């Protein structure tokens, strides 16, 4: 650097700054692209979505593993997070825990939603699928919930968006005055007050939050507050009843066992039927011996070189008449072919003569066309030609008439007398 001139050092410093800025810009672009990829990957896999935990219990975990997707109508809505064994004295054998992300856990209700385990392929793989609820209420709520007295609830400005969170029972054998998630109205609130119930819980469905606020407790049959990080039996995680189909290996084992039992039960009957069939077959073969002998005789006649099959189909007299008819027809066809050959030769000769005649007539016709063309050209070139020709013909006619009257040439134009016509006799 010390050996360079000040101008070169200045230029080299500018190049170094440009290279540094380019490297910095490329690094920023690389980091931005990597962040964009990570963000979209997380969004696609639902890392930013709200998730709710469920669990189910199975008899066999074959074909399932942690990380497998959970589906709803074919959509990937979650994944399996835990697979473990149940206590030895428990009715089920396997504990399976999984998550379902928003908004798909809103389709899971307390009635009709199940965890269905079915075969995914022919290699023993199984998949976990959740089903949409059909009745009662959702397992988790996203609405804010508050507890009001009946007087406070009656003072709310808009009761149409307020839902009763609990069913309020009536007295004695009367049916409940309200059902879960029924719209609040003044008449129902007055009935609740008449039943000496002081407080009610209302969910405001006009406001929807991202995190669930309430979860259904199937033990106490009511909604209670939801805490994502708190493990409460019967609440979090929420239990879905299982519908498990046997694994492929179990199905194959059952099929093989059933086939073995069926074969062991049916084998003696099959052997006895086989013995009876062979005895009947021997009897049938003995009865078919004459038929086989006749068939052998017939085939021997058919293999005769003298045409045994033709002699069967055509008697001797019919065969002779047929040969005579075919011979005559052959002669007739030969004569007709000869006549057609002669006619073809005549047509060829006439065609060649006509071609020669047309060829000979072609030069005179060409000359005639040339003469007419020349005359046409002369007429078109001399506009007075026709008048001159007409005058010439008229003068020639006058000349001939004058010669007829001249004494020197009169004898040349005498008409020879002819015999008078015979007179008719009366």
pLDDT tens figures, 354-378 = 888 888 888 888 888 888 888 777 7
pLDDT, mean of residues 135-146: 90
Pick 88 or 401 by higher pLDDT: 88
Quickly tell me which residue has 């109508």 as its tokens: 73
User: Coil, helix or strand for 225?
Assistant: strand
Q: Are residues 64 and 121 in the same domain?
A: yes
**Which range (247-251, 292-296, 382-386) has the least confidence?**
247-251
Q: Does residue 322 have a pLDDT over 60?
A: yes
Q: What is the chain's mean pLDDT, rounded?
A: 81
Domain shared by 59 and 125, yes or no: yes
Tokens representing 414 are 């005498």
Residues 107 and 172 in one domain: no
CB 120 within 8 A of CB 102: no
| 131 domain-assigned | yes
* Radius of gyration of the CA atoms of the chain, in A: 60
Q: What is the pLDDT of residue 279?
A: 77
For the chain, how many structural domains are there in total?
4
What CATH number is attached to the domain comprising 174? 3.90.105
Contact in structure between 104 and 98 (CB atoms under 8 Å): no
Taking 80 as the threshold, does the pLDDT of residue 49 lie above it? yes
CB 87 within 8 A of CB 107: no
pLDDT tens track for 221-258 = 889 888 887 777 667 889 999 998 876 666 666 677 77
Which of 83, 158, 142, 80 lies closest to 108 in space, CA to CA?
142
The region of weakest confidence among 12-21, 224-233, 412-421 is 412-421
Are 74 and 122 in a shared domain?
yes
* pLDDT tens column, 185-215: 888 888 888 888 888 899 998 888 888 999 9
Is 384 part of any domain? no
- Of the candidates 155, 159, 254, the residue with the CA atom closest to the CA atom of residue 206: 159
pLDDT value of position 173: 42
pTM of the model: 0.52
pLDDT digit string, tens, across residues 144-180? 999 999 888 888 888 888 898 887 665 444 555 677 8
Cis check for the bond before 103: say yes or no (omega within 30 of 0).
yes
Tell me if 426 is assigned to some domain: no
pLDDT band (50, 70, 90) for residue 70: very high
User: Is residue 56 very low, low, confident or very high in pLDDT (cuts 50, 70, 90)?
Assistant: very high
Q: So what's the pLDDT on residue 235?
A: 75
Provide the angle, in degrees to the nearest 10, between the axes of the packed helices 289-302 and 248-287.
80
| Positive/negative CA dihedral, 285, 290, 293, 298 | negative
Same domain, 199 and 157: yes
Q: How many CA atoms lie within 13 A of 300 on its CB side?
A: 6
311 contact partners, CB below 8 Å, separation of at least 6: 319
CA separation for the pair 182, 203 (Å, rounded): 10
Q: Residue 407 pLDDT > 80, yes or no?
A: no
Whether residues 187 and 116 share a domain: the answer is no
Contacts of 79 (CB under 8 A, 6+ apart): 67, 68, 69, 70, 98, 99
Answer yes or no: do 114 and 241 share one domain: yes
Window from 49-53, 206-210, 347-351 with minimum mean pLDDT: 347-351
Lowest mean pLDDT among 104-113, 140-149, 374-383: 374-383
Q: What is the pLDDT, as a whole number, of residue 365?
A: 84
Q: Which range of residues forms the domain containing residue 258?
A: 248-287
Alpha helices, H only, 46-105: none
Q: Is 94 in the same domain as 240? A: yes
178 and 259 assigned to the same domain = no
Domain identity same for 138 and 186: no
**Pairing of the two strands 51-58 and 238-239:** parallel
Cα 393 to Cα 19, 383, 385, 389: the distances in Å are: 115, 17, 12, 6
Q: In this structure, is residue 218 part of a structural domain?
A: yes
If asked whether residues 108 and 158 sit together in one domain, one would say no
Percent of the chain at pLDDT exceeding 70: 85
Helices (H) and strands (E) in the chain, counts: 8, 16
Residue 304 resides in a domain: no
| 303 is a domain residue | no
Please indicate, yes or no, if residue 12 is contained in any of the structural domains.
yes
127-135 mean pLDDT: 91
Q: Is residue 85 domain-shared with residue 28, that is, in the same domain?
A: no
Is there a domain that residue 381 lies in?
Answer: no
């Amino acid at each position: 650097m010390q050996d360079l001139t000040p101008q070169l050092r200045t230029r080299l410093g500018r190049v170094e700054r440009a290279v540094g800025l380019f490297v910095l810009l490329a690094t920023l672009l690389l980091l931005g692209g990597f962040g964009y990829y990570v963000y979209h990957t997380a969004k696609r896999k639902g890392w930013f979505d709200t998730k709710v935990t469920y669990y189910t219990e199975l008899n066999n975990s074959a074909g399932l593993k942690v990380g497998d997707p959970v589906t709803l109508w074919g959509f990937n809505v979650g994944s399996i997070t835990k697979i473990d064994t149940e206590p030895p004295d428990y009715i089920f054998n396997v504990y399976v825990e999984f998550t379902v992300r928003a908004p798909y856990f809103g389709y899971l209700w307390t009635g009709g939603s199940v965890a269905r385990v079915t075969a995914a392929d022919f290699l023993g793989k199984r998949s976990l699928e959740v089903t949409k609820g059909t009745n009662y209420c959702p397992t988790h709520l996203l609405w804010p919930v508050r507890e009001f007295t009946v007087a406070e609830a009656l003072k709310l400005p808009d009761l149409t968006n307020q839902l009763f969170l609990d069913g309020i029972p009536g007295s004695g054998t009367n049916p409940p005055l309200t059902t879960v998630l029924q719209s609040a109205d003044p008449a129902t609130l007055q009935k609740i007050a008449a039943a000496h119930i002081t407080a009610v819980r209302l969910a405001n469905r006009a406001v929807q939050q991202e995190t669930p606020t309430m979860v259904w407790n199937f033990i106490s049959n009511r909604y209670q507050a939801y805490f994502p990080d708190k493990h409460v039996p019967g609440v979090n995680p929420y239990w879905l009843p299982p519908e498990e189909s046997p694994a492929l290996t179990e199905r194959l084992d059952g099929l093989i066992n059933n086939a073995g039992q069926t074969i062991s039960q049916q084998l003696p009957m099959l052997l006895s039927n086989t013995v009876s069939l062979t005895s009947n077959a021997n009897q049938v073969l003995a009865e078919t011996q004459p038929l086989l002998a006749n068939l052998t005789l017939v085939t021997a006649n058919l293999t005769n070189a003298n045409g045994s099959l033709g002699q069967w189909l055509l008697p001797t007299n019919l065969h002779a008449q047929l040969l005579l008819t075919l011979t005559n027809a052959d002669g007739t066809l030969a004569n007709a072919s000869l006549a057609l050959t002669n006619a073809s030769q005549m047509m060829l000769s006439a065609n060649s003569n006509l071609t020669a005649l047309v060829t000979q007539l072609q030069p005179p016709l060409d000359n005639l066309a040339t003469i007419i063309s020349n005359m046409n050209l002369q007429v078109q070139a001399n506009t007075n030609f026709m008048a001159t020709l007409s005058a010439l013909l008229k003068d020639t006619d006058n000349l001939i008439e004058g010669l007829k009257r001249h004494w020197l040439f009169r004898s040349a134009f005498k008409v020879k007398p002819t015999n008078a016509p015979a007179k008719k006799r009366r």
